């Protein structure tokens, strides 16, 4: 694992380099830190345990409890002087079974690989049947007449734009498809919302993520399709009327207690340098990059100081946050 530049930045700030007179000594310390991080870091193995042995760990879930216990032990193994838990209320959302079948103009039935968006309400296990109406952009949906949408399933066939050199710029441009799209559709009378996944791969792995209902809108089911299924559905709708049959059991179940896991290595002053990542992940993935890597790298900062017997000038605090994914 290549440690992020921010990891080394935190290390150098904590060391507190004072003057040019210490240049040779400081250079040696920095070299030792870099060499140990690159050649002897346990971060890969830690990430493997977190992602493979524990796996997905949505906040408020049983798996997240296991992740919390892992994090406490990992911080102590790294050499933390103290580790504590900071209580925080998080939303408890459960996915349950879900399915989507479409019936084409010719009567053919096709099952699509779908995934409910995070925090979406489902159909309470009942079968929802309604015709599909397609929009190619969020602006088109905003401008649509409610009478054209009422009682239908809105399908937004607008994906992640790939024109940007920095890929995340495309995600930022299309994020509102997921966050606001269900509300716009609901306000216009739609009974469900289906969107093209915010991903770039031409495959059928749909990308979930958080959505939120505005106050006063009907909490209609909100669903993502992978790019392959989105292409198929868009083409089917061009050929004629298509009806969706959706069944899902996802639902919000109030709030439960979870914890930020905090570890600390005391410095010479009461000033703090904080590094961290979020420990939770969505329930359909391992969360290796989002944000298991950030967690193990943050722990690695503390380990390097302790292992190399470096007393930091500033107290080093590692925070593994309870919940980033579904809105807290």
pLDDT tens profile 63-112: 999 999 999 999 999 999 999 999 999 999 999 999 999 999 899 999 99
Rounded CA separation 15/29 (Å):
9
Question: Pick the residue with more confidence: 27 or 278?
Answer: 278
This prediction's pTM: 0.86
- 255 among known catalytic residues: no
Pick from 35, 43, 51, 53: which is nearest to 74 by CA?
43
Rounded CA separation 264/272 (Å):
10
pLDDT tens profile 235-283: 999 999 999 999 999 999 999 999 999 999 999 988 999 999 999 999 9
Signed CA dihedral, 79, 82, 87, 88: sign only: negative
Torsion region of 254: left, alpha or beta (phi above 0 gives left; psi -120 to 50 gives alpha): left
Strand partners, 274: 317
Rounded CA separation 258/89 (Å):
6
187, 264, 324, 325: the catalytic one is: 324
Q: Is the pLDDT of residue 8 over 70?
A: no
pLDDT tens profile 117-132: 999 999 999 999 999 9
Enclosing H/E stretch for 278 = strand 272-278
């Amino acid at each position: 694992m290549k440690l992020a530049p921010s990891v080394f930045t935190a290390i150098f700030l904590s060391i507190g380099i004072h003057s040019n007179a210490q240049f040779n000594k400081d250079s040696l310390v920095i070299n030792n830190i870099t060499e140990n991080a690159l050649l002897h870091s346990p971060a890969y193995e830690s990430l493997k345990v977190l992602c493979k042995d524990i796996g997905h760990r949505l906040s408020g879930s049983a798996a997240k409890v296991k992740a919390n216990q892992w994090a406490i032990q990992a911080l102590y193994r790294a050499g933390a002087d103290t580790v504590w838990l900071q209580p925080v209320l998080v939303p408890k959302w459960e996915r349950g079974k879900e399915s989507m079948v479409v019936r084409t103009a010719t009567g053919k039935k096709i099952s699509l690989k779908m995934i409910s968006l995070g925090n979406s309400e489902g159909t309470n296990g009942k079968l929802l049947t309604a015709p599909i109406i397609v929009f190619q952009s969020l602006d088109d949906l905003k401008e649509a007449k409610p009478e054209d949408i009422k009682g239908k399933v809105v399908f937004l066939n607008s994906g992640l734009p790939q024109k940007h050199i920095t890929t995340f710029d495309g995600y930022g441009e299309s994020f509102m498809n997921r966050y606001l799209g269900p509300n716009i559709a609901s306000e216009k009378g739609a009974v469900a919302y289906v969107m093209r996944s915010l991903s770039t791969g031409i495959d059928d792995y749909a990308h979930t993520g958080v959505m939120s209902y505005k106050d006063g809108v009907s909490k209609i089911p909100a669903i993502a399709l992978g790019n392959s299924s989105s292409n198929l559905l868009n083409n089917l709708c061009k050929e004629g009327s298509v009806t969706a049959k959706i069944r899902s059991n996802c639902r919000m179940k109030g709030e439960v207690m979870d914890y930020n896991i905090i570890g600390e290595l005391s410095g010479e002053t009461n000033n703090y340098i904080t590094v961290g990542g979020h420990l939770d992940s969505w329930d359909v993935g391992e969360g290796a990059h989002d944000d298991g890597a950030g967690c193990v790298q943050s722990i690695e900062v503390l380990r390097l100081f302790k292992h190399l017997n470096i007393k930091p000038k500033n107290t080093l605090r590692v925070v593994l946050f309870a919940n980033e994914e579904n809105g807290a």
